[in-house]
Amino acid sequence: MTIKSKIPNLFTMSNLGLGVLAIINMFHGEFYISALLILAAGLFDRFDGMLARRFNATSSIGKELDSLCDLISFGIAPAMLIWNIRLYDLGMIGTALTVVYAVSGAYRLARYNVTSFEGVYVGIPITLAGGIVSIISLYLLKYEINSTVIIAMVLFLAYSMVSTKIRLKKR
């Protein structure tokens, strides 16, 4: 194996590292930094697959590794971020929403890994959902939004990840 063939997995691991750092920052109440780290992880995720194809370094382990890292960076980290910022105040409903979002992301990734990809995403990618949650969280740090709207947004994103009705062409 050449060094070039390891670069895509380095990007994937960087995605994971940023997701873990986002979670660590939440423990310190640094929610703004956490949201930015999740968005930065999205940039690494954007390029890992592209680099793998460019360097002819695609592999089954790379695909699985990408999904595991994505679950942390765009499933768990955003769910915990919005829980810390706003869903915590909703008690059991907020906790249930946090779990539903994370579980939906895990299911979406598992389904993606066992189906053949033909240039169209079935359901929105977890990276997109995690980015949206991070942007919403940044907004919530500055402005108040009605709890019903937040509940609807989280449920909509969870549904959008697992929906077979929503299809997005890969760019």
Going from N- to C-terminal start, the domains of the chain cover: 3-169
Per-residue pLDDT of the chain (171 residues), as tens digits, is 678 888 999 999 999 999 999 999 999 999 999 999 999 999 999 999 899 989 998 888 989 999 999 999 999 999 999 999 999 999 999 999 999 999 999 999 999 999 988 889 999 999 999 999 999 999 999 999 999 999 999 999 999 999 999 999 887
Within 8 A by CB and 6+ apart from 62, the residues are: 8, 9, 12, 48, 52
Q: In CATH, what number does 3-169 get? A: 1.20.120.1760
Query: Using CA atoms, how far apart are residues 82 and 94, in angstroms rounded to an integer?
Result: 9
pTM of the model: 0.95
